[in-house]
Amino acid sequence: MEYHNNKEFALKMDKEDSLASYRYQFYFPKHTDGKESIYFCGNSLGLQPKTTKTYIEAVLDDWKYLGVKGHFEGENPFATYHEDLGKKMAAIVGAKHKEVVAMNSLTVNLHLMMVTFYRPEGERRKIVIEKNAFPSDQYAVKSQLEFHGYDPDETLIEVEPRKGEDLLRTEDITDLIAREGNEIALVLLSGLNYYTGQAYDMESITKAGHAMGCQVGFDLAHGAGNLKLSLHDWGVDFAVWCTYKYMNSGPGGIAGCFVHSDHIKRKDLPRFTGWWGNKKETRFLMDDTFDPIEGAEGWQMSNETVLSMAALKASLDIFDQVGMDKLIEKSRKLTGYLEFLIDGLRSDRIQVITPKDPEARGAQLSIRVLKSDKSLFEAISNKGVIADWREPDVIRIAPAPLYNSFTDVFRFVEILKELVR
């Protein structure tokens, strides 16, 4: 669309925005001057919905007045609280209800998925990952390789951009899989790279991995609630994500997990088991033979913290009202406007390294500060902008479509313009 570099245009876009009212359903931190901060850090911790306290208090009241009977009585019984969350998250990630479950934390779920889907055998024992993946993924993968008795230096393949480039090319990933696929057991990439903001072509990567007999999984920490996903149709074997970023579940909020329907009925798949993954019909018979639920719920181990799930439910109910299609539509306009205004600065101090193609990014632009100077980040922070610095040289700006406005974007770039000059 055609953008204009003036405040009137930003105000006009906000007035025409059908999602503008959702901004007022969230709390914004205040700057030292008492005014609302310009909050562009939803890719690290989403803002708190104003209904969160009510949802948590409802659980506290059920516990208070029902005690143990709250597991099966009340409006939202504890024992089945997670089921509605799984249904709503399935719509967000493009999955069937049975393929998604809310449980644990992201890296715990990643380990549980690798127990099932990393099954080295013979020469097929390598794992493919990004060289600049989020460190927790690196730690998890290396520890899994070591657990199986392998040296990560010999069994970890780290795919990286070409020399002089910041972004991974899809053909380089798929060519690597085709070239070394007979030795690859698992392809495990981010859906969206936390540092560059690049969204990968998950459909093509999954197809390439399966063509070579590899299992394919994704860490969607920065993709879930941000990108248009179709995990079921793409045939992804598994995916994991946190919910405290774009899904606004609060610090350390409960995570999500996807297991494709091709796998959910298989009882022969290895997994770490616990009683909450046992069929609900027989769970309380207290039998010592594990009989898994046919679905992603079959990978559950223990009943989850309902208070944490209540915070997630508050946000997912908003997502359910809006729908991902409308969020993606606004997100692309909002991020496109941010890109347009930054490009207009023509500053030699900064460089956007996130892809220009809206299909290859989400609600984030990564701004490289040349010469790795953190002073610019500190300066925008002092002006009331809450963003994120990632070593060695990037400021991450994430305008979340649920609560950020075009005026937020315009105000931020005006501050940036003043500082880079």
pLDDT in tens, 269-280: 999 999 999 999
Please give the pLDDT value at position 331.
98
The pLDDT tens digits for 376-397 are: 999 999 999 999 999 999 999 9
Instruction: Give the confidence band of 143 by pLDDT, cuts at 50, 70, 90.
Output: very high
User: Cβ(113)–Cβ(143) under 8 Å?
Assistant: no
User: Which class for 260: exposed (0-12), middle (13-18), buried (19 or more C-beta within 10 A)?
Assistant: buried
Query: What proportion of the chain, given as a percentage, has pLDDT over 90?
Result: 96
The DSSP secondary structure of 367-390, one letter per residue, reads EEEGGG-THHHHHHHHTTEE-EEE
Using alpha carbons, select from 361, 358, 367 the residue that is nearest to residue 415. 367
The pLDDT tens digits for 26-85 are: 999 999 999 999 999 999 999 999 999 999 999 999 999 999 999 999 999 999 999 999
What CATH code would you report for 7-47+323-420?
Answer: 3.90.1150.10
**Which part of the chain is CATH 3.40.640.10?**
56-320
**Which part of the chain is CATH 3.90.1150.10?**
7-47+323-420
Please give the pLDDT value at position 284.
87
Query: Distance between CA atoms of 312 and 116, rounded to whole angstroms?
Result: 27
Instruction: Give the confidence band of 239 by pLDDT, cuts at 50, 70, 90.
Output: very high
Residue 394 β-bridge partners: 368, 390
Across the range 321-348, mean pLDDT stands at: 97
Query: What proportion of the chain, given as a percentage, has pLDDT over 70?
Result: 100
CA distances from 242 to 39, 247, 301 (A): 20, 8, 18
Residue type, 350: I
What global pTM score does this model have? 0.96
User: Does the structure show a pLDDT above 80 at 233?
Assistant: yes
Four-way CATH pick for 56-320: 1.10.260.40, 3.30.9.10, 3.40.640.10, 3.40.50.300:
3.40.640.10
The counts of H helices and E strands in the chain are: 14, 13
Q: Tell me the angle at which helices 7-16 and 406-420 cross, rounded to the nearest 10 degrees.
A: 160
Token duo for residue 372: 């790795």
User: Cβ(257)–Cβ(238) under 8 Å?
Assistant: yes
